[in-house]
Chains A and B, each alone.
Chain A
């Protein structure tokens, strides 16, 4: 069928000059859908089905003896009790703290870079941030173990162990997470800081505003959506992080990602799979709420940054 269309198409302008141009140059709506169909089917099957499986696994339980599947709220209730609840709350706490630190430190760095007015430095930092923000994982964890671990170079050099330092604590994990969270914040906030026109500052100064008044009445309201959006994005990233934590602390610390991994791959106790699905569903719900806050904020801040 496509070969026929190919051989015929050169003669189309001759036989139907009235429909040449736009009509001939655009695919029909049906063929546009056809070109997008493989992607739509792929995402539905290979992303949609696993997500449905998580949902179904979270609310059902299968009795292997009788091979019957029944609807239950047990998995979900168990996933928000006891050790699982601890893991969920400590994951959320760690993510909240690292996200807050990341927002403050990232904004500081971005402000220092943007205000330095050195275009080379700005490009370098933004480019490096794009790289650092996305790709850490296992290698990053080992770099930090070699640096701040029990026999790490800095630990021995500065006698940190005697000072009470341990990398394998929430504080240690936070130091590692910030290595990719700060660059992520720089990426989010740098365009917003660029959008704060120097003219606004001059205008405010001409009207007699102090620096504090400028930030309180103009700067922060304009940056607000980006700051909040950045916080939410950082929270989501820290919350979902697994590779770094797993390579560093194994399952020493209670984190929800580590708990899911244990339940999935560890000694498979009966019902563990259901709890893994329930925990995964909890995570998706938290991450989904986070994105539901982030996307409208991003759109709002985009208005100021044209």
Chain B
């Protein structure tokens, strides 16, 4: 029996080591690729070039702006609906769950095919109506509202799951009753009682949305807006090292952000269990 456990332990160690190698290799190799230039030896030039690269600040700025707008919109839509459903359980709850899960079923490329057809309606059919101006406005390349609306749809499943687990952890009806009986208005209940209790799951939803928008390529590429990922692909043609350096940095930053978030989440959970 002891021999068996030792054999299993060796086997487990081997499995873990192989997987560790597989997951670490691309990161290590990419780093080597960016700093080891043939003929020049080791250099950090690729990283120094990032800030000055044409289009970098524009692309990143646009992606960050879209992320902020998407976070505000998605939370403003989902929070009131989910709180209301907690207070009045019924069929509405499952309707919202299904609606918020549906975007997971539809591949983004299929979704953007639909958005493209809708946006083409503008010039094709509505060019002599006032609506045409709206179609132009949502495609303004400085602030493409069309992308904000699409990203909000893509973020719904993530935001729903994050808020759902947050709301599960608190007793919404009791908190609300207590606050209402103390004379709080509905607005006060939401802002001063419920939202502070949901702080960590709201932050989770916001971070996930941020990561989603910063990394989203499909929709921006098809609708031809130069967001951060679209810029990376564009620059890769002429500056391979630079694009890998930016990719590596953005992967690491996103992962650190999400790691910090999920470890904060587990810590909060263990704290509440104790």
Binding site for B on A (CB under 8 A): 2, 5-6, 9-10, 13, 20-22, 24-27, 29, 31-36, 38-40, 42-43, 46-47, 49-54, 56-57, 105, 108-109, 112-113, 115-116, 121, 123, 127-128, 130-132, 134-135, 137-148, 152-154, 179, 182, 236, 239-240, 242-243, 246-247, 257, 260-261, 264-265, 273, 276-277, 279-281, 283-284, 287-288, 291
Contact = CB atoms under 8 A, between A and B. Distances in A.
Contact of B33 (A153, A240, A261): A153
A239 B33 CA distance: 30
Contacts of B221: 246, 261, 265
B216 to A, nearest CB: 8
B202 interface: no
A35 B80 CA distance: 6
Given A46-B149, A142-B232, A261-B221, A5 B117 contact: no
A42 B100 CA distance: 11
A6 B183 CA distance: 9
Contacts of B259: 127-128, 131
A182 B217 CA distance: 22
B127 to A, nearest CB: 13
Interface stretch (B11-19, B50-58, B64-72, B128-136): B11-19
B165 interface: no
A281 B152 CA distance: 22
A283 B218 CA distance: 15
A212 B261 CA distance: 41
Given A10-B183, A40-B99, A138-B217, A146 B244 contact: yes
A139 B250 contact: yes
B62 interface: no
Contact of B114 (A54, A131, A141): A54
Given A243-B217, A264-B116, 18 more contacts: A5-B186, A27-B84, A32-B87, A34-B84, A43-B99, A43-B100, A43-B156, A46-B152, A105-B19, A109-B19, A116-B16, A134-B208, A137-B215, A143-B244, A144-B26, A182-B19, A280-B114, A291-B105
A257 B262 contact: no
Interface of B: 8, 11-12, 15-16, 19, 22-23, 25-27, 29-30, 32-34, 36, 76-78, 80-81, 83-85, 87-88, 90, 92, 95-96, 99-100, 102-118, 120, 149-150, 152-153, 156, 173, 176-177, 180-181, 183, 185-187, 208, 211-212, 215-218, 221-222, 224, 229, 232-233, 236, 240, 243-244, 246-248, 250-251, 254-255, 258-259, 262-263, 266
Contact of B105 (A153, A247, A284): A284
B185 A277 contact: no
Q: Which has the most chain A C-beta neighbours within 10 Å: B25, B88, B255?
A: B88
A27 B186 CA distance: 9
B42 to A, nearest CB: 13
Given A131-B255, A131-B262, A257 B109 contact: yes
B211 to A, nearest CB: 5
Given A36-B84, A50-B118, A243 B244 contact: no
23 contacts: A6-B186, A9-B183, A25-B173, A27-B87, A27-B88, A32-B84, A38-B77, A39-B78, A56-B117, A134-B211, A137-B217, A138-B229, A139-B229, A140-B26, A140-B251, A141-B247, A145-B244, A236-B105, A240-B107, A243-B215, A247-B236, A276-B116, A284-B107
A50 B111 contact: yes
Contacts of A273: 116-117, 120
B79 to A, nearest CB: 9
Interface residues of B: mostly helix, strand, loop or mixed?
A: helix
A247 B114 CA distance: 22
Contacts, number: 284
Given A35-B81, A35-B84, A246-B221, A147 B107 contact: no
Given A127-B259, A246-B221, A57 B33 contact: no
A132 B23 contact: yes
A147 B27 CA distance: 8
Nearest to A286: B107
B56 to A, nearest CB: 14
A265 B223 CA distance: 8
Contacts of B114: 49-54, 57, 277, 280
A46 B92 contact: no
